[in-house]
Amino acid sequence: MARVYNFSAGPSMLPEDVLKTAAAEMLEYGETGQSVMEMSHRSKEYQAIFDETEANLREIMNIPENYEVLFLQGGASTQFAMIPLNLMTKNGKADYIITGQWATKAYKEAARYGAAREVASSKDKTFSYIPKTTAADFDSEADYVHICMNNTIYGTKYHTLPDTGDVPLVADISSCILSEPIDVSKFGLLYAGAQKNVAPAGVTIVIIRKDLIGNAMDITPTMLKYDTHSENGSMFNTPPCYAIYIAGLTFKWIKKMGGLEVMKEINEKKARILYDFLDSSKLFKGTVVPEDRSLMNVPFVTGSDELDAKFVAEAKKAGFVNLKGHRSVGGMRASIYNAMPVEGVEKLVEFMKKFEEENA
Ligand X SMILES: *Cc1c(COP(=O)(O)O)cnc(C)c1O
Asked if 102 is an active-site residue, the reply is yes
- Which residue, 10 or 168, is less far from ligand X as judged by CB? 10
Choose which of 68, 95, 143, 172 interacts with ligand X (CB under 6 A): 172
Q: Using alpha carbons, select from 195, 172, 190 the residue that is nearest to residue 250.
A: 195
- Contact segment (CB under 6 A) with ligand X among 117-125, 172-180, 242-250, 349-357 equals 172-180
77 binds ligand X (CB under 6 A): yes
Q: What residues contact residue 336 under an 8 Å CB cut-off, 6+ apart?
A: 7, 267, 270, 271, 274, 295, 296, 297, 298, 344, 345
Residue 148 found at the interface with ligand X (CB under 6 A): yes
- Would you call 172 a catalytic residue per the annotation? yes
Strands, sheet with 169-172, edge to edge from the N-terminal-most edge strand: 67-72, 204-209, 189-193, 169-172, 145-148, 93-98, 115-121
DSSP SS3 for 277: helix
Number of residues that bind ligand X (CB under 6 A): 12
CB of 352 to ligand X, least distance (A): 24
Q: Assess contact for 220 and 114: CB atoms under 8 A.
A: no
Out of 70, 76, 98, 145, the only residue in the binding site for ligand X (CB under 6 A) is 76
- Nearest 5°: phi and psi at 84? -65, -40
Those residues with Cβ within 8 angstroms of residue 292's Cβ, 6 or more apart along the chain or in another chain:
128, 129, 130, 156, 157, 158, 159
196 is catalytic: yes
Q: Give the one residue of 174, 287, 335, 338 binding ligand X; rule: CB under 6 A.
A: 174
- Minimum CB distance to ligand X smaller for 39 or for 241: 241
Residue 196 binds ligand X (CB under 6 A): yes
**Given 95, 143, 157, 196, the catalytic residue:** 196
Restricting to residues 94-133, which ones interact with ligand X according to CB under 6 A? 102
Which residue in the list 95, 143, 157, 172 is annotated as catalytic? 172
Residue 320 phi, psi dihedral angles, 5° rounding? -110, 100
Report yes or no: 117 and 96 within 8 Å, Cβ to Cβ: yes
| Interaction residues for ligand X, span 255-314 (CB under 6 A) | none
Q: Which of 8/77 has CB closer to ligand X?
A: 77
Q: Among residues 22, 26, 51, 15, which one has the least CA distance to residue 253? A: 15
Return the half-sphere exposure (C-beta side, CA atoms, 13 A cut-off) of residue 358: 10
Least spacing, CB of residue 109 vs ligand X, in Å: 11
Pick one of 5, 6, 7, 10: the residue that binds ligand X (CB under 6 A). 10
Q: Tell me whether residue 174 or residue 234 sits nearer to ligand X (CB atom).
A: 174
- The footprint of ligand X (CB under 6 A) covers 10, 75-77, 102, 148, 152, 172, 174-175, 193, 196
Active-site positions read 102, 172, 196
